[in-house]
Amino acid sequence: MNLRQIEEQVLLSVDLSQHVIATGGSAVYSEVGMAHLKTLGPVVFLDCSLKELRARIHNYESRGVARRPDQSFDALFEERNSLYRRYADIVVACDGKTQAQIIEEILERV
């Protein structure tokens, strides 16, 4: 069984309304998993630019990111970004903000 199948099974088994569930980055590939999460509450996408993520992730090649072997960081970003936006009920722009500012914005919008 591969990682994405396991992630989907875990997502479908979750029954935690009124909780924060921080998924792995590849969880968004499961349409049924994301639909299930949306039944539990709003899905919040913490939107960081490609430039910001590049500054944060220094070990892309060795990090263990679920991706195709030949997939570049830019290509993975573009692929996932559109999926995150598709499922998000709330999108919070995070570039240049502190954790406290991001949390405050989430709380205001939830």
Report residue 72's pLDDT band, with 50, 70 and 90 as the boundaries: confident
Distances (CA, A) of 64 to 16, 29, 59, 82, 85: 27, 17, 9, 21, 23
Contacts of 17 (CB under 8 A, 6+ apart): 40, 41
In the predicted structure, residue 105 carries a pLDDT above the cut 60:
yes
> How many domains is the chain partitioned into structurally?
1
CATH code (residue 53): 3.40.50.300
pLDDT digit string (tens) for 7-50? 899 999 999 888 889 987 789 999 999 999 999 999 999 999 99
Enumerate the β-bridge partners of residue 45: 91
Residue 20 structural domain = 3-109
